[in-house]
Amino acid sequence: MFPVVLYFLKFLQLPKTMTVWCSVSISRLSLTSFSRVAASFPLPCRSVISRRISAKMPTGSSSIQITHTLKLPSQPSDPVTVVAAPGVSDSEFRLAIGSSLFKQWLKNIQSEKGLLVDGSLSLKQVLIQGVDMFGNRLGFLKFKADVIDKETGQKVPGIVFARGPAVSVLILLDSEGKTYTVLTEQVRVPVGRSILELPAGMLDDNVGDIAGTAIREVEEETGIQINLNDMIDLTSFLDPSTGCKVIPSPGGCDEELSLFLYRGSVSRDVIKELEGKETGLREHGEMIKVHIVPYDTLWRMTPDAKVLMSIAIYEMAKREGLLPQKENDLQ
């Protein structure tokens, strides 16, 4: 590789007028065309953008690397290189480094309890490995972070599947002296089978009304309409040091869950109507069937972590007298 540093050069002596911004590293110098990769990057840190140079090579062409350099306030003298893996396009790279998922991760590692706060670890490089789009927005982001233990010089495991915050709702319905739970059965390709789970959904772009998202997901997945004032945020009972969120898989995924509770009373007819009901947004590939499970056997009926975490917090909060006594009528 021949490093070439170009500082705001304009109107190069090439076929057609072109402009190159900042610095690039390329494998050959016999270029015939250039293209700009990314616009400025609005991160809570100073950054130097390394643009991609597109080139039509003669026989024996070689690869061109897309990079982006960050200067983090937590390690100002140790820049971080963000690199696109082979197969990641210019536009995908721009989306990745500009996404709320990536910005939130950078914010987390520099927060009061972040990885970089005490100076024992250093972030050297981030490899953007892939993105998945949900329509016009980035849904999932996969990257590998090279985090180094300064004392040993060894890398800390750093493969990240970023998907952002999500919500779920534990729905308890009292009918004729018995309490039932509303679950959804969905095809889950990652585990290769259908799973009984709580109604749940992702927040858009790391922002938005968390409780409102929970209400929307309940209606989309079960057909049940509930009011915002009737929702109880179970995760709000957690110690503030937790961020009042639960993290199901911190070894590989950044997902943070807010767990809500709704409790109401219904007639036996409502229970019968809900059982087996088919719902979901079919145009989004959702194939959902509603199931009604007695609450006293719920903990044995599903491997869904959202269910088990919700039961645990609900039962502890009930034991501590933290839950209101009001019940809501869905009849």
Give the pLDDT confidence of 80-102 residue by residue, as tens digits.
999 999 999 999 999 999 999 99
pLDDT > 70 in the chain, percent: 76
Question: Is it the case that residue 118 has pLDDT exceeding 60?
Answer: yes
Q: Give the pLDDT band (50/70/90) at residue 17.
A: very low
The set of residues, in sequence order, having a beta carbon less than 8 Å from that of 238 and lying 6+ positions away, is 244, 245, 246, 313
Question: Which pLDDT value is given to residue 102?
Answer: 97
- Point out the least confidently predicted range of 60-64, 166-170, 247-251, 259-263: 60-64
Indicate the average pLDDT of the chain. 81
Q: What is the pLDDT of residue 38?
A: 41
Of residues 280, 303, 267, 257, the one with CA closest to residue 184 = 280
Confidence of residue 120 (pLDDT cuts 50, 70, 90): very high
Domains and CATH numbers, the chain: 2-162 (no CATH), 166-329 (3.90.79.10)
Question: Which residue shows structure tokens 């981030």?
Answer: 126
Q: In this model, does residue 27 exceed pLDDT 80?
A: no
- Helix H segments across the chain? 90-98, 100-109, 210-222, 268-274, 298-301, 305-319
- At 220, the pLDDT band (50, 70, 90 cuts) reads confident
Q: What is the pLDDT of residue 46?
A: 42
- Which of helix, strand or coil describes residue 197? strand
Better pLDDT: 210 or 151: 151
Confidence of residue 128 (pLDDT cuts 50, 70, 90): very high
Model's pTM, two decimal places?
Answer: 0.78
Q: Chain centroid to CA 182: how far?
A: 25
**How wide is the angle at C-alpha 17 spanned by C-alphas 15 and 21, nearest 5°?**
115
